[in-house]
Structure 1
Amino acid sequence: MSRYRGPRLRITRRLGDLPGLSRKIIKKSYPPGEHGQKPRKPSEYGIRLEEKQKLRFNYGLSEKQLLRYVRLAKKVKGSTGQVLLQLLEMRLDNTVFRLGMAPTIPAARQLINHRHICVNSKMVSICSYQCKPGDIISVKEQKKSKELINKYLAFPGLANIPTHLEIDKNNLTGKVNGLIEREWVALQLNELLVVEYYSRK
């Protein structure tokens, strides 16, 4: 299954607020579709599926990518759910978004693909690059790149920058100081249900 490229507001109406996917405000309180105004009680499987879909659409992953992250998280010592969230939060596209350099994760992905972002003074065009503590994220020394980032920094996607990141708006650089803590994850979900969903795969 490829990355979702359809209407984003439809997804946020169905799954709730996804800060990484879209900044649009939901005006209708019921889900999309013909039967949206006739809510049904979801099954146990349906609840787990919804939590998994929140994670997938917020971070802009394909099903195959998310499954790979879950398998990687299971191999690491500690809570699988928290390790999974840390792996996803430390992706370069999400780090650029959380620093305020892009309004959404898809916008951050475009900045990286178009070679506007450097990590430790080296050009990186891979969105899934795993940032490590001590990494310096900077903007390419080009007028167009700096103008674009300054425009985005004036209206960041999220109000607060997590404690594991710091940004210097004058020099347009960000630094990763450590791993993100669970309370700073902007997405509202139960990660244990995602692990349970994939436990049979």
Structure 2
Amino acid sequence: MSEVKLAAESRSEFGKGAARRIRRENKVPAVVYGHGADPVHITLPGHELLLALRTPNVLLSLDIDGKNELAIPKAVQRDPLKGFLEHVDLLLVKRGEKVTVELPIVVEGELAPGANLLEHVLNTLAVETEATHIPESVTISVAGLDAGDSVIAKNVELPKGTTLAVDEDAVVLQVLTAQAEEAPADAEGDEAAAEA
């Protein structure tokens, strides 16, 4: 997992007006908390942060007033229409510390022949892993699965040093039988009546 270095600036202004001024300067207001310390309000460079957040569970190396801190994103608020970053909550972590994160699920392989549908019961899998070695995703093979089959959490092969943080019997993926759609009988009767 990559570590992204960002220069952070402490901020003392709060509220909507201050946040708008910060965003106009292409920066993002953020708060850093964790390890029992008081929350620290900072601003981060907008473009660099946006690029960093493209990687799920990215590890950020923050330079806050000359002090280096490691953090992972906990909550990201985006503008619902334009998609730009409005605010970010960051959780302080230390090397060797275990954290609980949500890993995206990547599916590989082909289902058994036939018109079956794969349902993602979970889109992400909660795991506990070392803060500085967070995997980017979990890969699940669905090769040969047929209608009625499912993949449960305890059968998912996890990356080294990672343990489940969900119920081990939770269904992650399941294969459903595709239903062929039939034309409604009333519609066929109406067409025959229109032709007569």
TMscore range, shorter length: under 0.3
Query: Is the radius of gyration larger for structure 1 or structure 2?
Result: 2
Q: Which has the higher strand share?
A: 2
Which has the bigger relative contact order, CA under 8 A and spacing at least 6? 1
**TM-score, scaled relative to structure 2:** 0.23
**TM-score, scaled relative to structure 1:** 0.23
Q: Which has the higher helix share?
A: 1
